[in-house]
């Protein structure tokens, strides 16, 4: 399964989701990317801190634009609570995860978002395994 996790700025939720997916997935079969409709300059510092706490380094991750070329590589687009600004890509299966934006939140709140994202990614991977049999 190839997945794009997308939010507006690609500086928080989608970065965490792609990192968890790529860490937990079968690298021979599955891959994730993150992107945004209006990419920011860098990943939010509070997100980098929260992910570092669990051994995932996002300090070199760069927000990127969700392009048609990137979208064509995926089977599934998961948007992350971006409302009307969420992208629509014809031909891609789509799901929306209504998640709070971690930007400017306390580290405790960012940890809650991080842990919720991990749970959602684990559920996605488990359901994908069931489909494969």
**pLDDT tens-digit profile of 66-121?**
988 898 899 999 998 776 667 677 788 889 999 999 999 999 999 999 999 999 99
The reply to whether 82 belongs to the active site is yes
Q: Is it the case that residue 133 has pLDDT exceeding 80?
A: no
Q: What values do phi and psi take at 33, rounded to 5?
A: -130, 160
pLDDT at 130: 61
CATH code for residues 2-132:
3.40.50.2300
pLDDT at 132: 56
Locate 39 and state its tokens: 């990419």
Q: Catalytic pick from 7, 19, 25, 35?
A: 7
Q: Residue 69 and residue 45: Cα distance in Å, rounded?
A: 29
CA pseudo-torsion sign 21, 37, 43, 71? positive
Q: Structural domain boundaries of the chain?
A: 2-132
The reply to whether 44 belongs to the active site is no
Q: Catalytic pick from 23, 70, 76, 86?
A: 86
Q: Catalytic pick from 25, 82, 99, 124?
A: 82
Q: Residue 31 and residue 54: Cα distance in Å, rounded?
A: 21
Locate 132 and state its tokens: 């494969």
- Is-contact 96 5, C-beta < 8 A? no
The reply to whether 39 belongs to the active site is no
Q: What percent of the chain stands above pLDDT 70?
A: 93
């Amino acid at each position: 399964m190839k997945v794009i996790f997308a939010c507006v700025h690609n500086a928080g939720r989608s970065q965490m989701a792609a990192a968890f997916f790529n860490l937990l997935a079968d690298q021979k079969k599955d891959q994730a990317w993150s992107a945004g409709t209006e990419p920011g300059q860098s990943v939010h510092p509070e997100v980098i801190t929260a992910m570092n706490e669990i051994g995932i380094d996002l300090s070199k991750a760069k927000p990127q634009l969700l392009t048609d070329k990137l979208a064509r590589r995926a089977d599934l687009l998961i948007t992350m609570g971006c409302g009307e600004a969420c992208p629509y890509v014809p031909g891609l299966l789509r799901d929306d995860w209504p998640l709070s934006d971690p930007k400017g939140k306390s580290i405790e709140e960012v940890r809650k978002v991080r842990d919720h994202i991990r749970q959602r990614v684990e559920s996605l991977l488990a359901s994908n395994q069931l489909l494969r049999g």
